[in-house]
Amino acid sequence: MTRAAGRFRRTARRAEEPGFGEPDPAHGKHLAPEVIALRAATKTYAGGLTALDHADLTIRQGELLAIVGPSGSGKSTLLNLMGTLDRPTSGRVEVLGHDVAALSDRRLSAVRARWIGFVFQQFFLAPHLTALENVANGLLYHGIGHSGRRDRAAEALRRVGLGHRLDHRPHELSGGERQRTAIARAVVARPRIVLADEPTGALDSASGAAVVDLLRDLNAQGTTIAVITHDQALAAALPRRVRILDGRIREDGRTVLSAAQPAGSGPEAAS
Ligand SMILES: Nc1ncnc2c1ncn2[C@@H]1O[C@H](COP(=O)(O)OP(=O)(O)O)[C@@H](O)[C@H]1O
Ligand SMILES: [Mg+2]
């Protein structure tokens, strides 16, 4: 009886402590939450080549960043780790707070399908399917019925300016339209993160610019986006640039550097 009352008082006192069960007002005031974090992430391929060497990189919600570097420098390896398509040989990768190493392949697939959209240079559209069907397939594992998938796919295609191309197959679309279809597929499930590996690499400059504008729009609507690019002008126009060389992150620069930038987030922390 007395002990029970004491427990009750202790519980009540805890409940009155500032911050108990409430968000800490100071927490996250300056910084958006981390969506992807690599901590000393290293990838050594079978055969012994180390394509990524102790990479430290934190991407916060709402960011739009370019990853630049010469061919063979490890950009795709970095993107594959960020997107959980591959696991690091050592070090740690976190996606939306989940330690990738702690998740089973099945849980990892679920995290990826739910939260991450991918765009690749080669589009990877199924040639025998229409634009609508290609995009609708981006929702296959989301528990949405056939007609719901088609409605959402049509909406996503309208969003990328292809509302008039729903029934076209890839060979009936221009390169830029194919990539916009691939972007619609990447975002149809409304992922938090879009990872794009050289999305303009196969496009003429006008189509490439349209694709970049589209990625900017998606970012403005809240999607966190990382884009690998060879295009210096494109990279220079983005708010953050991560430069990679020989598997190492050599530079991590923001156009507007905040005075309140936390220790350990700059490029000097990685070297
Ligand atoms: N699956 C793989 N097996 C072995 N080596 C690989 C594999 N993928 C990439 N590499 C090598 O790792 C290095 C980095 O490759 P990658 O990440 O594709 O670079 P980038 O995208 O910057 O061109 C290259 O030397 C490449 O040959
Ligand atoms: Mg690559």
Task: Answer yes or no: is 196 within a domain.
Answer: yes
- pLDDT tens figures, 226-250: 999 988 888 998 999 999 999 999 9
Nearest CA to ligand 1 atom 11: 51
Ligand 1, pocket-test mutation among 43, 44, 45, 230, most atoms within 8 A of CB: 45
Q: State what percent of residues in the chain have pLDDT above 90.
A: 75
Residue 151 neighbours by CB distance under 10 Å: 13
Cα(80) to centroid(ligand 2), Å: 10
pLDDT of residue 29: 60
pLDDT given at position 27: 53
> Does a structural domain hold residue 8?
no
Q: How many helices (H) and strands (E) does the chain have?
A: 8, 10
Separation of CA 51 and ligand 1 centre (Å): 6
CA distances from 142 to 46, 84, 132 (A): 34, 18, 17
**What is the Cα–Cα distance from 200 to 122, expressed in whole angstroms?**
10
49 Cβ below 6 A of ligand 1: yes
Please indicate whether residue 77, judged by its CB atom, sits closer than 6 Å to ligand 1. Answer: yes
Provide the pLDDT for residue 14. Answer: 38
Q: Tell me the ligand closest to 81's alpha carbon.
A: 1
CA distance 253 to 266: 8
**Residue 189 phi, psi dihedral angles, 5° rounding:** -90, 10
Residue 86 placed within a domain: yes
Q: For residue 70, which atom of ligand 1 is closest to its CA?
A: 22
pLDDT in tens, 181-225: 999 999 999 999 999 999 999 999 999 988 999 999 999 999 999
Closest Cα to atom 8, ligand 1: which residue?
Answer: 77
Task: Check pocket membership of 58 for ligand 1, CB cut-off 6 A.
Answer: no
Report the 10 Å Cβ neighbour count for 86. 18
Note whether residue 132 is domain-resident.
yes
Q: Is residue 21 part of a domain?
A: no
Q: How confident is the model at residue 11 (pLDDT cuts 50, 70, 90)?
A: very low
159 vs 59: CA distance, rounded Å: 25
Whether residue 3 is contained in a domain is answered as no
- Are the C-beta atoms of residues 189 and 139 closer than 8 Å to each other? yes
Asked whether residue 9 is domain-assigned, the answer is no
DSSP β-bridge partners for residue 119: 196
Q: Which domain holds residue 227?
A: 32-256+265-270
In a domain, 14, yes or no: no
User: What pLDDT is recorded for position 265?
Assistant: 45
pLDDT digits (tens, 9 = 90+) for 30-74: 789 999 999 999 999 999 999 999 999 999 999 999 999 999 999
Per residue in 122-153, pLDDT (tens digit) is: 999 999 999 999 999 999 888 899 999 999 99
Phi, then psi, of 257 in degrees rounded to 5: -90, 120
What is the count of structural domains for the chain? 1
Per-residue model confidence (pLDDT) at position 269: 38
Beta-bridge partner residues of 83? none
CA of 134 to the centre of ligand 2 (A): 24
- Looking at residue 112, which CATH number applies to its domain? 3.40.50.300
Q: Is the CB of 73 under 6 A from ligand 1?
A: yes
Say which residue the tokens 């609508």 belong to. Answer: 132
